[in-house]
Amino acid sequence: MFCRLTRVTHSMSKRVYLETMGCQMNKLDSELVLGQLCRLGYAPTDDFRRADLVLLNTCSVRQHAEDKVYSRLGEVARIKRERPEMVVGVIGCMAERDHQGIQRKAPHVDLLCGPGNLNQIGDLLAEVLDTRQRAIALEHDRSRRTPKDRRTLEHDSIESLDLSRTAPPDGNVLQAYVRVQRGCDKFCTYCVVPYTRGPERSRPPANIVDEVRKLADMGTREVTLLGQTVNSYLYAENGRTVRFADLLERVHEVGGIERIRFVTSYPGDFTDDILQAMRDLPKVCEYLSLPAQSGSNAVLRRMRRDYTAEQYLELVDKARRMVPGISLSSDFIVGFSGETEEDHQATLALIERIRYKNIFMFKYSNRPNTKADRVLPDDVPYRVKQRRHSELMALQHRLSIEHHRAMIGRRVEVLVEGPSKPALKARQAVEAGKVKTSRRADQLTGHTRGDEIVVFAGPDSLIGRFVTVEVTDASPLTLQGMLAGGPGVSPIR
Ligand code: 5AD
Ligand code: SF4
C-alpha cells in the first residue's frame, strides 16, 4: 500500500492497518477512508502488529465473513494487551448490523462506524484519542422506508469530502470506482444489505460527473459506476428524472475517460434504454454483471426476486442481440430454503444455456432478521449445499475455458495495468539475485472491454496505454497473447 500524501508528512507518522472484506462497495469505502486518514497524517501498513490504528472494514452478507472478523479481532486483542494505546475499529456492514454483539464479544474495540457514517471517521478517531472511550456512529432504523424523492436529496456522505478523490491510497489511478447510488430497496428475502446499507439513494448526477472529471484529470482512463442495483439509478432534477441511461450519457462526455463499466445490475429493472446506451456509447464496455441467483422460478419467488428464469433469459437474449459480443457475469446462491434437486438442475441448465464468462457462487447462509430468517427454514443440509456448489463450479470451469478458447486468434483491446503477478515475482527473484534473468519478468497484464484478463509480453512503457493483443492461448481465468504487430508496436491510445 502506498499513500502519496504521507510523503509530505512527518516521517514518524502514525500507522494504520486497514483490512477490507467483502464487495467492491467496501473496497471503495476503504479507499476513501484511507484517503481521509492519510490527510490526518496516518501512513498505511500491511502489518497489524505494528499499527497504531487497526480498522476492519467488514461484510455481513454471509456468516463466514463475520466469523473471519471475530477471528481477526482475537489476534488483534493479543497485540492490544501489550500495546493498550493501539486503537481498534470495526467499520462497515457488520458494525451496523451487530454493534451490540461486537461490543459484548470484543470489548477491546474502540470505534464502531457503519457504512453510511464513514465521513465521520476522523471525528470518531479524535474522540477515542481524547476521551479513551468507545466512539460509535451508526445509522438507525434501517428498515425505515422514506419516499424516494426525499432520499435522492440526501447529501452525499464520504464522497463530498473535499479531498476524498485526490489521492488514491494504492497509487493506482488508471481504474477507479465511482459510487452512483447507496443502499438497496429490493429486500430479497435472504439478504442483509438493505438493513446494513439502508434505503436506496441515488447521488446527484452533477456530483458524479464532477468526481469522474476529477479522476480523469488525475489520469483515470476507466471508471466503474457502483451501486447495489446500479441500473435502478433515478434522480429527480428540476422536475425531470435522470435515469441510469441518462447518467451513462453524461459520464460518457467526460474527456480522458475511455472506458465505462457498471456493477451490479438488477435483472428486474433492466430497461431497453440502458441496452441502447450500451450499444450507442462507444466508451461503455460490452460487459454486464447481472446476478440471476437461481434458475428455478419457485426459488426466485421465495427469494423475492421479481423476475422469472424465462424473463431473465429473454433479457440476456436481447442484450446479446443489441450489444454483440457482450460478456456476462452472474451470482448464484445454492441451497436456499426449500431448494430441491429439480430446482438445482434448473440452475445448472440456466448457466449452461447462458454460457457466462464467469460466475460467483455461494452456499446459502441464513442471516439474522432477514425475511428468510423469519419465515423460511434453512433446510438444505450443509453437505448438499457443498455438493451443489461443487457442481456449479465444475460446470462454470468448463464454460469459462470454452468462453476463453473461443477468443483464440482474435484481436482484443487491452488497457495495460502493469506487470502480471508472475512477472512481479520473477522481478523480485532477479533483484534478490536468486536467478540471473527470467523470461516471465516482462509479462504485462490488463483487461479487455469484456473484462477478460490478458497476459502478454511487452515493455513497461505500455503501462496505462491501450494496446491490441492477439490471443494465442486460453485458460479458465486468463487469455494469453502477444502484442499485435510484435514487440515495440505503438499503443492505440
Ligand atoms: N447467503 C449466501 N449468499 C448471499 N448473497 C447475498 N446474501 C446471501 C446469503 N444470505 C450473495 C448473492 C449476492 C452476492 C453479493 O452475495 O448472490 O448477489
Ligand atoms: Fe441484496 Fe437483493 Fe439488494 Fe442485491 S438486490 S443487495 S441481493 S437485497
Tens-digit pLDDT profile for residues 36-47 = 999 899 999 999
pLDDT of residue 8: 39
Quote the CA–CA distance of 252 and 471 in Å, as a whole number: 28
Q: For the residues 444-456, what does the mean pLDDT come to?
A: 97
pLDDT of residue 439: 74
pLDDT bucket at 486, cuts 50 / 70 / 90 = low
Q: Where are the beta strands (DSSP E) in 305-452?
A: 327-334, 358-363, 411-419, 443-447
- Say if residue 3's pLDDT is above 50: no
CATH topology of domain 15-137: Rossmann fold (3.40.50)
- Say if residue 491's pLDDT is above 90: no
- Say if residue 457's pLDDT is above 60: yes
Counting atoms of ligand 2 from 1, which one is nearest the CA of 228? 6
Ligand 2 centre distance from Cα of residue 422 (Å): 36
Pick from 101-115, 132-146, 217-231, 378-392: least confident: 132-146
pLDDT of residue 148: 46
SS3 203: coil
Which sign, positive or negative, has the C-alpha torsion 130, 131, 132, 134? negative
- Say if residue 477's pLDDT is above 60: yes
Binding pocket residue ranges, ligand 1, CB within 6 Å: 61-62, 190-191, 291, 293, 331, 333, 362, 364-365, 367
Output the average pLDDT for the chain: 91
- Say if residue 75's pLDDT is above 90: yes
pLDDT of residue 478: 96
Ligand 1 centre distance from Cα of residue 211 (Å): 30
pLDDT of residue 157: 60
Contacts of 307 by beta carbon, 8 Å cutoff, 6+ apart = 267, 268, 300, 315
CATH topology of domain 148-405: pyruvate-formate lyase- activating enzyme (3.80.30)
Q: What percent of the chain has pLDDT over 90?
A: 82
Q: For the residues 238-242, what does the mean pLDDT come to?
A: 93
Same fold, 15-137 and 411-483: no
Q: For the residues 388-416, what does the mean pLDDT come to?
A: 97
Among 288, 185, 158, 180, which Cα is nearest to 242's? 180
CA angle 231, 333, 399 (to 5 degrees): 85
- Say if residue 346's pLDDT is above 50: yes
Ligand 2 centre distance from Cα of residue 229 (Å): 7
Ligand 1 centre distance from Cα of residue 248 (Å): 27
Query: Ligand 2: which residue has its CA nearest to atom 5?
Result: 186
Query: Ligand 1: which residue has its CA nearest to atom 2?
Result: 364
pLDDT of residue 487: 52
- Domain 411-483 belongs in CATH node 2.40.50: yes
pLDDT bucket at 460, cuts 50 / 70 / 90 = very high
pLDDT bucket at 169, cuts 50 / 70 / 90 = low
Tens-digit pLDDT profile for residues 87-145 = 999 999 999 999 999 999 999 999 999 998 998 999 999 999 999 999 999 986 444 34
pLDDT bucket at 492, cuts 50 / 70 / 90 = confident
For the beta carbon of residue 271, count every other beta carbon within 10 angstroms: 12
pLDDT bucket at 5, cuts 50 / 70 / 90 = very low
Quote the CA–CA distance of 255 and 220 in Å, as a whole number: 10
Ligand 2 centre distance from Cα of residue 301 (Å): 14
Pick from 154-163, 181-190, 320-329, 407-416: least confident: 154-163
pLDDT of residue 71: 97
For the beta carbon of residue 171, count every other beta carbon within 10 angstroms: 11
Q: For the residues 360-378, what does the mean pLDDT come to?
A: 97
Environment class of 369 (CB within 10 Å of its CB; exposed 0-12, middle 13-18, buried 19+): exposed
Quote the CA–CA distance of 87 and 91 in Å, as a whole number: 13
Ligand 1 centre distance from Cα of residue 270 (Å): 20
Binding pocket residue ranges, ligand 2, CB within 6 Å: 184, 186-188, 191, 193-194, 228-229, 266
pLDDT of residue 9: 42
- Say if residue 72's pLDDT is above 50: yes
pLDDT bucket at 86, cuts 50 / 70 / 90 = very high
Widest CA span in the chain: 67
In this prediction the pTM is 0.92
Counting atoms of ligand 2 from 1, which one is nearest the CA of 197? 6
Q: Closest-lying ligand to the alpha carbon of 64? A: 1
The x, y and z cell numbers of residue 23, run together, are: 464487495
- Say if residue 226's pLDDT is above 90: yes
- Say if residue 170's pLDDT is above 50: yes
Q: Closest-lying ligand to the alpha carbon of 196? A: 2
- Between 428 and 170, the more confident residue is 428
Domain layout of the chain by residue ranges:
15-137, 148-405, 411-483
- Say if residue 156's pLDDT is above 60: no
Radius of gyration, alpha carbons of the chain: 23
Quote the CA–CA distance of 134 and 131 in Å, as a whole number: 8
The x, y and z cell numbers of residue 444, run together, are: 504485462
CB 128 within 8 A of CB 113: no
Which sign, positive or negative, has the C-alpha torsion 417, 422, 427, 432? positive
